[in-house]
Amino acid sequence: MEKATFAAGCFWGVEAAFREVDGVKATAVGFMGGTTENPSYKDVCTDETGHAEVVQVEFDPAEISYGQLLAVFWANHDPTTLNRQGPDFGTQYRSAIFFHSPEQEAAAIASKETLEASDKFTRPIVTQIVPAAAFYMAEEYHQQYLEKRGERSCHI
């Protein structure tokens, strides 16, 4: 198994999108990329911890490639909005790929460059591509939040 970590706005909808992908074995929502140790959701919502809401994906590379996970990431949010997705705004909602290996970094950069060259977006892509840092799991009630409520997505 391998890990991949993505930030693409509110983690509830991002997690739901990845949970539907064949080859994804587990997901967890949490926080990464900030300076506060063991932040709570309430802490992160202050926009003062520096953390992004993330989904950590455990996947079987024999069933799905990291490149395919990147395609899911790009397709499920607007990577041109800085620190915002839909009605949610703040640095915790930024678009970011947290890579776990040099291979993931190279694949993330290549996928971003390909998307930029495609002219799919009229605005620049603002997605950060940064090394994975400490992952802090969000409180239990956030895990599989939409599934627990019988919902499939929270996209606008």
Q: Among all residues, which ones are annotated catalytic?
A: 10
Which residue is listed with tokens 């949010």?
A: 77
Q: Label each residue of 28-58 as H, E or C.
A: EEEEECCCCCCCCHHHHHCCCCCCEEEEEEE
Whole-number Å distance between alpha carbons of 147 and 139:
15
- Extract the tokens encoding 119: 């002219």
State the angle between helix axes of 66-75 and 102-117 in degrees (0 to 180), rounded to the nearest 10.
Answer: 40
Nearest by Cα to 59 from 101, 86, 100, 22? 22
